[in-house]
Structure 1
Amino acid sequence: MAVRIGNIDLGEFPLLLAPMEDVSDPPFRFVCKQSGADLMYTEFISSEGLIRDAAKSRQKLDIFEYERPIGIQIFGSDIDTMREATEIASQVGPDLIDINYGCPVKNVACRGAGASLLQDIDKMTAMTKAVVEATHLPVTVKTRLGWDDNTKNIYEVAERLQDVGIQALSIHGRTRSQMYKGRADWQLIREVKRNPRVRIPIFGNGDVDSVEKAAAWRMEYEVDGIMIGRASIGYPWIFREIKHFYQTGEYLPAPTIAERVAVCRTHFEKSIQWKGEKTGIFEMRRHYANYFKGIPHFKEYRTKLVSLTSVADIHAVLDEIGEQFVMEEVA
C-alpha cells in the first residue's frame, strides 16, 4: 500500500533524504533525486532569519520543480516567529512544511530550538499547532527519542503532535544527549509505530548505511519508510541500491569510476550555477573525498581539487581522475 502525506503519494517504501545543514542544498538534492530519493527537504532554516529577511535563510528557500515532492524545514524557539516563518515558507510553493525538533547542536538546542523542545512538550505541541494553522500545506516533524536517557518521551510526542495535525513523523533513534554517538535505538521507533493511536506515517532515521540494513530494518521495525542522511554524502547511489535490493534481493553493481566522476561533476556544475563561481567552488570542497572514497592514491587528486580556484582547472582534474582510474579498472 502506498504511503501518503496529505495528497503526496510516496510509493510503498519511500526513501527520504534527511535535511543536513551545509549538505542538502539544491546541487546535492539534484544528484540524490536522480538516484531515486522519494522525498527531500531543504537544509533547516531559521525562523528568525526568515523574518529578518537574512540572505542565507532566504537563499535556502530556493526549490526547483525537479525536486518535488520537497519540504521546507524550519526551526525556532518562539511560537509567533515560527507561525510567521511558516507563512513565508508556504508562499514559495513547497509540497510540505517540516519542523525541526531534532537538531542537537549547541547553538540551536541551547537557544531553545531544535531538540531543546523535547524538554517542553507543551510548548512543542503549541508551536506545532500554530504552524499547522498557519499553512494550507501538510506539516511534518523530525525529532529524536527524547532529550536524554531519562526522558525518552517520543511515544507521548507522537500522539500529541498527531492530535494537533501533523501528517508524518520522522524519528532519529538517538536522544539529544547522544548527539551522533552510540547506536540508534530503532526499537522505540517500532513502539511508536505499533501504538494503535498513531495513524500517521512513521519514518525511521539513524545508522542506515547499507542496503541490507535498510531492507531488514524496514521489515523488523515496521516503519513506513526510511530517512537517510550521512550515508548519502558522496554516495547518492544508496537510494537506487536500496530500492533495487528491496525489490529483487539482488545487489546493483557499485558505481564505476566513470559514474563517480560524472555525478561529482554534475554536483559541481549545479553548485556553480546556484551559488556562483567562488562560493560554488569553495563549498564543493567538502564533497570530493566522499565521492572518491576507497580509491587508492586519491590523496594527491583531492589536494588539487580542494586548492584549485578555477572551474576549468577542476574539470581538468576530474577528467584526469576519470582517465587514470578507468584505465586501472580496465587493466
Structure 2
Amino acid sequence: MDMYLGFVVLEGLLAVAIISTNLLVCATVYLHKELRHVTNCLLLCLALADLGVGALAIPFSMVLSMGYTLCFYTCLFLTCFPLVTTQFSILLLLVIAVNAHLKIRLPNSYATHMKKRRVMVLVAFCWFLSLLIGLSPMMGWNRFEQYVEARNRTVAFSFASERAAFVILAHDLPYTGFLSKVYPGPRQVFNDSGVHHGHIGRCSFTSVFSPEYLVYFVFFTCTLLPLAAMLGIYTDLFRVVRGHFHQSQALWATKRGEIQTARTLFLLVGVFCICWLPLHVIYCLQLLCPSCPTYQSLDRLAVLLSHMNSLANPLIYALRKKDFGRALHSVLLHHVLRWPRLRARCCPNSKVHPLT
C-alpha cells in the first residue's frame, strides 16, 4: 500500500511538472515570433503531445494501476490513449530527423521542400497513423475473452458511476460494425442493477491488450523500425557534417548552428529510447519468458520512467538550444512570475526594465 501511495504521489507530481513545462514551451513559441520556424513548430507539436501525456495519460495510468473492475470498452479506452500519444511522438521524432537531414543535405532547396503547410500535413498524417495504431485494439485485436474470464478470479472495487455510464451506453449503442468484434456475446445478460456481466473485469494495461500486439506490432514494428530509421538518418547526417569539416573550415562555421540543432534532436531520440525501452523489455519478457518472475515495483518504475520522457523533452531543448532557452527564461520571468512588477514593488527606487 505504501509503495502504491508513493507511485500515485510521484505520478501526480510528474503530471503537474509535465503540464507546467510544456505549457511554458507553447506560450514561448506563441509569444516569440522569431521562434516560429519549421523545427520549432515540430517541437511545439511534440510539446502538445507531451501535454496530453501529463493531462490525460498519467491520470489514466493511475486508474489502471488501481486494478478496478471496469467494463471492457472503458478499460480499453484508458489503455489505448497512451499508445496514441507515444506513437505520435515516435513518428514526429522521425519527421524532425528528416527535417534536420534535409536542412543540412539540401540547404538551397530546403525552403521549397519543407514549407509550413506541407509540414502541418505531415503532422496531421502522423496523428492519423497514431490513432490507427493506438486504437487498433478497439477493432478486435484485444483480450476480451480473457478479460471477462478473469473477472471471476479477481475481487476489486468498481465505480458505481462508471457502471451507470455503461448501462446508458449499453442500451444506446448498436452492436454492429467493429463494436461487434470487440464486445461479442448476448446483449440481454444483465444483473439486477442493470450491469452486463459479460463486459466486466479487472482493468489493467496487460489485461486488455494481446502480448503479441504489444511486442510484435507496437514494439518491433511501430517503435524499433522508426528508431532504426532515425539512427540511419542521423548517422548519414553526421557523416555529411564530417565531410564538410574536412573540406573547409569556413563551410563548417556556416553549418555550426544546424549541427548543434541536429545534436540536440539526436539527444531527444536517445532520451526517448532510455525512457521507453525498459517498459517494452518487460513486455517482451512477459511474452517470451512466461515463467520468469515479475515484480510489480519494476513495472511501476518502468511506467514512471516512460512518463518522465515528456518532462525531459522541453528541458533538453531549453538547455541545448540557446535561443529557445533564453526565450523560455524571458517568458517565465516576465509573463509567469511577473518579475519586473515584483521588483518594482519591493524596490521602488530601482530601475525596472520594460517587458521584452
Query: Do they fold alike, i.e. is TM over 0.5?
Result: no
Task: Name the TM-score, length of structure 1 as normaliser.
Answer: 0.23
> Is the helix fraction higher in 1 or 2?
2
Structure number with the bigger relative contact order (C-alpha 8 A, sep ≥ 6) is: 2
Task: Name the TM-score, length of structure 2 as normaliser.
Answer: 0.22
Q: Which has the larger radius of gyration?
A: 2
